[in-house]
């Protein structure tokens, strides 16, 4: 008997050593940032077995493996597309986004900005009520609450009227949704799919890669995106108060790009490719409209397109940069760009919430602030409820509104979408909203910040170590 257990022990040891060597080899061959590579090697050494499990579930670089590689063929549509001097000095930003994501600059769009859930959902409900052909819905979180159920009931009614309703929700973000919620929609004639459902071992290893997009397209003529999820905290609040967020409504040729983004995701979750041109109907061209470039990023692409676009936009700033972000744990490239802009004389203002929905995330985020303050960046704590907005304005002309937070997860792991809007109208709306938010904010002082209590700094530094995983 003793011999048996010895054999088991040595067999297990040999298997573990072999697995560890395979994993370590894989880590080295990925040629990541040396700091990340060394961190994973240390985890493997210091945390036997646990290190392998962590790597399998959160450490693999699926960007290289193309877990979604079935990009659709964008229909050959007669839409106004041009790069011109009208983009001012941001033409290279637009070119970069075209090269990395295939995103096209589409002119003649009307963009409406919403900063409250009440206004955003009122407008969204009205557009859905008027739908005649189809409604495409994609959210990271759909809550089984008053708002989520009202939205479901509206979709069910439209589905019974003969409108084609397609719904995508993230499997992890929507894990609280009961089966009855989804079945109710399906019984009404709607089509509902979770994104990357953990229904087998391979998909379970992909739980770290989430679909964080928020996107609604109605009849191919109007579309919405931004930071809001389908949850009543945007209308009635929660323990953090009423959530402050940014959502945009788009009419015009840019809706084609937003529709395309949805249908790519739909082909992945449904298995059927949808390329019918009826989903790209004729849309109005607004002569006084703005240019919009819809950009997606995620593990399905070779490039971190949204992050590259943000860095490029910051580098082009000459006067002012305004940033809303609920979580500030950015890759080094973003921090360096902001620091360089501030040191060169650009006024940089970053607003983050003082109260956060995650203590660990908040602690990690605080560790990044000192570098900004020392460079002259103005950092503000939003004190009125919770700031969930993801918006950037550069020089009162280029606006970036979407779903991506300024952190590692959004830029490197999540599926995200953002609208790059070239024009003064949208920028002016966002600047005005930022100025109003400053009335409910306090500015951080670099000297006081550097001399905060040592144990707080210690906790923040520890949290920073795991920030890429948060």
* Sequence-distant (≥ 6) Cβ neighbours of residue 125 within 8 angstroms: 151, 154
The token pair that represents 314 in the structure block: 């910051």
What is the DSSP secondary structure assignment for residue 287, as one 8-state letter?
T
Between CA 192 and CA 182 the distance in angstroms is 7
SS3 329: strand
Would you mind telling me the total number of residues written for the chain in this entry?
470
Contact 95, 295 (CB under 8 A): no
Tokens of 26: 């894989």
Distance CA 187, CA 338 (A): 50
User: Which positions are catalytic?
Assistant: 212, 214, 219, 388, 390, 395
Burial of 119 (0-12, 13-18, 19+ CB in 10 A): middle
Helix (H) or strand (E) holding 401: strand 398-402
What is the three-class DSSP state of 240?
Answer: coil
Q: What is the CA radius of gyration of the chain?
A: 23
Spatial separation of the C-alpha atoms in residues 376 and 87, rounded to whole Å: 28
* Phi, psi angles (nearest 5°) of residue 320: -155, 145
Longest CA pairwise span in the chain (Å): 85
Strands 416-422 and 386-387: unpaired
379 phi and psi angles, rounded to 5 deg: -110, 130
Q: Which of 146, 399, 126 is nearest to 248 (CA)?
A: 399
CA distance 310 to 307: 5
Tokens of 453: 């209590």
Residue that is written with structure tokens 């593990």 in the block: 299
């Amino acid at each position: 008997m003793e011999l048996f257990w010895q054999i088991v022990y040595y067999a297990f040891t040999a298997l573990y050593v072999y697995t560890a060597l395979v994993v370590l080899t894989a880590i080295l061959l990925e040629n990541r940032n040396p700091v990340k590579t060394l961190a994973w090697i240390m985890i493997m050494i210091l945390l036997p077995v646990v290190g392998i499990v962590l790597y399998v579930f959160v450490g693999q670089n699926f960007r290289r493996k193309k877990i979604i590689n079935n990009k659709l063929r964008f229909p050959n549509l007669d839409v106004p597309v041009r790069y011109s001097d009208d983009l001012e000095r941001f033409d290279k930003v637009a070119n970069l986004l075209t090269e990395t994501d295939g995103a096209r600059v589409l002119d003649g769009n009307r963009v409406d900005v919403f900063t409250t859930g009440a206004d955003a959902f009122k407008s969204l409900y009205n557009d859905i009520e008027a739908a005649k052909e189809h409604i495409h819905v994609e959210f990271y979180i759909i809550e089984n609450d008053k708002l989520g159920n009202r939205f479901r009931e509206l979709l069910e009614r439209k589905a019974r009227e003969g409108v084609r309703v397609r719904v995508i929700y993230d499997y992890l973000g929507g894990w609280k949704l009961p089966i009855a919620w989804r079945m109710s929609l399906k019984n009404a004639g709607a089509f509902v799919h979770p994104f990357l459902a953990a229904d087998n071992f391979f998909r379970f290893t992909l739980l770290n890669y989430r679909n964080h997009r928020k996107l609604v397209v109605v009849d191919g003529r109007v579309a919405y995106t931004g930071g809001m999820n389908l949850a009543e905290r945007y209308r009635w609040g929660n323990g953090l108060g009423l959530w402050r967020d940014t959502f945009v409504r788009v009419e015009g040729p840019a809706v084609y790009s937003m529709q395309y983004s949805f249908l790519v995701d739909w082909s992945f979750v449904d298995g059927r490719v949808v390329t019918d041109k009826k989903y790209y109907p004729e849309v109005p061209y607004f002569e006084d409209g703005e240019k919009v470039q819809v950009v997606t990023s995620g593990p399905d692409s070779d490039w971190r397109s949204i992050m590259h676009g943000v860095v490029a936009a910051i580098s082009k700033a000459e006067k002012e940069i305004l940033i809303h972000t609920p979580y500030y744990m950015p890759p080094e490239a973003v921090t360096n760009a902001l620091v360089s802009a501030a040191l060169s004389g650009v006024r940089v203002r970053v607003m983050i919430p003082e109260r956060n929905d995650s203590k660990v995330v908040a602690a990690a985020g605080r560790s990044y602030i000192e570098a900004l303050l020392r460079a002259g960046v103005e950092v503000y704590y939003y004190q009125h409820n919770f700031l969930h907005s993801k918006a950037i304005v550069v020089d009162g002309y280029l606006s970036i509104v979407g779903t991506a937070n300024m952190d590692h997860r959004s830029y490197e792991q999540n599926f995200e979408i953002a609208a790059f809007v070239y024009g003064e109208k949208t920028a002016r709306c966002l600047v005005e909203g930022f100025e109003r938010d400053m009335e409910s904010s306090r500015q951080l002082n670099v000297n006081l910040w550097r001399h905060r209590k040592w144990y707080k700094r210690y906790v923040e530094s520890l949290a920073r170590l795991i920030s890429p995983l948060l």
